[in-house]
Chain A
Amino acid sequence: MTDHEAREPARDAASTPPDLPDVTGGPDDAPLLQLVTPAGARVTTPETDAYRDRVAHLDAAALRGLWRDMVLTRRFDDEATSLQRQGELGLYAQAKGQEAAQIGSGRALAAQDYVFPSYREHGISHVRGIDPTARLRLFRGVDHGGWDPTEHNVHLYTLVIGSHALHATGYAMGLQRDGLVGTGDAARDTAVVTYFGDGATSQGDVNEALVFAAVNNAPVVFFCQNNQWAISEPTTKQTRVPLYRRGGGFGIPSVRVDGNDVLACYAVTAEALERARSGGGPTFVEAFTYRMGAHTTSDDPTKYRSRAQEEYWLRRDPIDRLEALLRAEDAWDDAFAADVEAEAEALGERLRTEVRALAAPAGASMFEHVYATPHSVVERESAWFAEYEQSFAEEAAR
């Protein structure tokens, strides 16, 4: 197997059983890398040796830390969904079911690595320490962004599907010019990760990003969370072949991983990041997972997918899998779990209070930051708006 061929992991019967609803025989019916079975047992096949080495340093406390990350991400998701139902958010896009893909890959990042997310990467936002309330400013309609990207090395959420894959690639080309790739200094060498979904792989921008990354050997990891649904369209509407094979056509090493296996996601991301930082170029990761929730709070999955499928994946909850592993390895700690539960409760309460307190900005703020330097049209309209508003104040004063 050469570096530029798509990687074919050994088929693990446990990971893609023949009864997997709506998958058998389609592009999602392909082998994938797994380090922990859905039942919580470690996979010990020889093909997984190299990947197991990459998670060998994660001791019981570290595994519990990953569980905590996932539980807090889930709670954030549930609270945000509730807040939308109560009318406190205009919209919300759930990450539910994709916690292992996000926490596993996110925890493999070095502090200096830069992330270009789509809009469902709440697990990444958690890992990078973005204030939970700030993450919901966009969904409440008080901000188009919400945080300082350079403070967290996480770009703002991008809503135009796949556009940010090019930004990630350009950023990575900048890193190359800055001499931050392949120096051998672990604190200096930097990589970029961009997250997108199965639907985005059909976008021209994602494909152009793969072209630009490949010919420039750019240090970027294309992390595709194949959650099987692009709103209402299944993966079969996007592809005839497993998505990870897309990378091979561009000369980009590719791997398909069980996206509900947090350790496998950590391992493949660590490998891809190392390749990028050392000057080995881009990697395409397909993390096969499931969108347990709706596309957004405006969506109705009962119109297009079966209850049987949802129930199948409910039984493959990535958080349950990690708990099963912890229990199997005698690493489960009731006191720790209770602390995390209390932490999640506190997070929920904080969100309920703080999100409601997020006030609408002043109307006149719409004229701010349209340009970095004065623009006469914006200035004229802004002045008119101020006068218009003032006229009401004067009328009221009369």
Chain B
Amino acid sequence: MTTGTTKTLTLARAINEGLRRSLENDPKVLLMGEDIGPLGGVFRVTDGLQKDFGEDRVVDTPLAESGILGTAIGLALRGYRPVCEIQFDGFVFPAYDQITTQLAKMGYRSGGRLQVPVVVRIPYGGGIGAVEHHSESPEALFAHTAGLRVVSPSTPQDAFTMIQEAIASPDPVLFFEPKGRYWEKGEVDLGGRGEGATVLDRARVVRAGTDLTLVAYGPTVATALRAAETAAQEGRSVEVVDLRAISPLDTATVVESVRRTGRCVVVHEAPTYLGSGAEVAARVTEECFYALEAPVLRVGGFHTPYPVAKIEHDYLPSLDRVLDAVDRAFAY
């Protein structure tokens, strides 16, 4: 459906459109990664961009993730705004040193004299029947490093806006793309800047409710919304908050919600142990202590390596497991 500047796009296509606008608007923006040129990336997110912007701005790099990040930092020091694509979540680790010891700290160690506005796009999450290293959710590892912003869109509209704001940000941004939602469609307003830079650090209430707050981001927002709908049929009014950012966590929005609802369940695909849900739980406990009807519960991956595809449905926070947590929260 198309009305005015609004189009129905997949999440992958929305990122493509966002990248295109950034490339158009700022000659210093360039894309780097493996197979992002003629192939358009293994998920086709950069489809057609090299044809339109040339090999110097949409760069097929050597197959070396640390090299991609390290040279991106050098390009940023020269005034460029590189957007790096890491092919899959599990392949970011060769670049982990450059991201955490160099990218994250460059502004700090230079006393603010240097800026490295690098965006690292990482398709992440499971549920796609993939082989080992292709379904992981390592966002907390990066959120634990000061100097990085870590965000994840859940809808095509947010994907379109957030990728442009991430590129425009003077800070390095880890941009986690829920690959299991790449082909889900939504309305995208292609005109204007939408909510502007606030999309990078402001959570959003995506469904209003009064009895329990479900906190999610990226791929689990859709699961949380389905859980809220199901709960509504049982007469429970569930509010859903899409965090959008893991660093910084917009705990103010969550706290405001939980003070009203008295119950909180956090959902993410990453392991719950020391995950971002633990930080949400700690903040909510500290700031909503007297409003809580139940302890904050978490639903997510287990403290195991990501399992084989045939049993990943048991690992991922499914609708049933989210509803189970909702039941437990009400049972207190």
List residues of A whose CB falls within 8 A of some B CB.
143-145, 148-150, 155-156, 158, 160, 163, 165-175, 177-178, 204-205, 208-209, 211-212, 215, 368-373, 375-378
Contact partner of B252 (CB less than 8 A), chosen from A155, A372, A376, is: A376
Nearest residue (CB) in B for A369 is B112
13 sampled A-B residue pairs with Cβ under 8 A: A149-B110, A156-B109, A163-B102, A166-B67, A171-B74, A171-B75, A209-B71, A211-B64, A368-B112, A375-B171, A376-B249, A376-B251, A378-B146
A209 contact set on B, CB distance < 8 A: 67, 70-71
B169 contact set on A, CB distance < 8 A: 372-373
Would A171 and B77 count as touching, CB distance under 8 A?
A: yes
Bound Cα distance A173, B70 (Å): 12
A171 contact set on B, CB distance < 8 A: 74-75, 77-78
Would A167 and B108 count as touching, CB distance under 8 A?
A: no
Contact partner of B71 (CB less than 8 A), chosen from A156, A169, A373, A376, is: A169
Would A170 and B70 count as touching, CB distance under 8 A?
A: yes
Bound Cα distance A170, B84 (Å): 13
Residue of B74, B101, B146 contacting most chain A CB atoms (<10 Å): B74
Q: Mark B185-206, 1 if CB is under 8 A from A, else 0.
A: 0000000000001000100000
Q: Does B129 contact A (CB under 8 A)?
A: no
Residue of A167, A172, A376 contacting most chain B CB atoms (<10 Å): A167
A371 contact set on B, CB distance < 8 A: 107, 147, 149, 171
Q: Using A163-B101, A173-B74, A212-B64 as known contacts, list a sample of 4 further A-B pairs with CB atoms less than 8 Å apart, ordered by residue number in A.
A: A156-B109, A167-B71, A372-B171, A375-B247
Q: Does B38 contact A (CB under 8 A)?
A: no
B209 contact set on A, CB distance < 8 A: none
Nearest residue (CB) in A for B57 is A177
Would A177 and B249 count as touching, CB distance under 8 A?
A: no
Nearest residue (CB) in A for B109 is A144
Bound Cα distance A373, B117 (Å): 11
Bound Cα distance A371, B117 (Å): 11
Please judge, given known A-B contacts A144-B105, A211-B64, A378-B146, whether A373 and B170 are in contact too, CB under 8 Å.
Answer: yes
Shortest beta-carbon distance from B195 to chain A in Å: 15
Would B109 and A145 count as touching, CB distance under 8 A?
A: yes
Would B77 and A167 count as touching, CB distance under 8 A?
A: yes
A148 contact set on B, CB distance < 8 A: 113
Interface size on B, residues (CB 8 A): 49
Contact partner of A166 (CB less than 8 A), chosen from B71, B249, B251, is: B71
Would A170 and B62 count as touching, CB distance under 8 A?
A: no
Bound Cα distance A211, B70 (Å): 12
Bound Cα distance A155, B116 (Å): 13
Would B64 and A208 count as touching, CB distance under 8 A?
A: yes
Shortest beta-carbon distance from A101 to chain B in Å: 23
B72 contact set on A, CB distance < 8 A: 170
Q: Mark B97-137, 1 if CB is under 8 A from A, else 0.
A: 11001100101111111110000000000000000000000
Would A205 and B70 count as touching, CB distance under 8 A?
A: yes
Residue of B56, B67, B107 contacting most chain A CB atoms (<10 Å): B67
Interface residues of B in 41-63 (CB under 8 A from A): 56, 61-62
Would A375 and B77 count as touching, CB distance under 8 A?
A: no
Contact partner of A370 (CB less than 8 A), chosen from B61, B108, B115, is: B108
Please judge, given known A-B contacts A177-B56, A372-B112, whether A208 and B79 are in contact too, CB under 8 Å.
Answer: no
Would A175 and B248 count as touching, CB distance under 8 A?
A: no
Would B248 and A376 count as touching, CB distance under 8 A?
A: yes
Would B62 and A372 count as touching, CB distance under 8 A?
A: no
B252 contact set on A, CB distance < 8 A: 376
Contact partner of A163 (CB less than 8 A), chosen from B56, B61, B70, B250, is: B70
Contact partner of A205 (CB less than 8 A), chosen from B66, B115, B149, B251, is: B66
Contact partner of B70 (CB less than 8 A), chosen from A208, A370, A373, A378, is: A208
A166 contact set on B, CB distance < 8 A: 66-67, 69-71, 73-74, 98
Q: Does B80 contact A (CB under 8 A)?
A: yes
Nearest residue (CB) in A for B69 is A166
Would A173 and B171 count as touching, CB distance under 8 A?
A: no
Would A163 and B98 count as touching, CB distance under 8 A?
A: yes
Residue of A165, A170, A204, A377 contacting most chain B CB atoms (<10 Å): A170
Nearest residue (CB) in B for A371 is B171
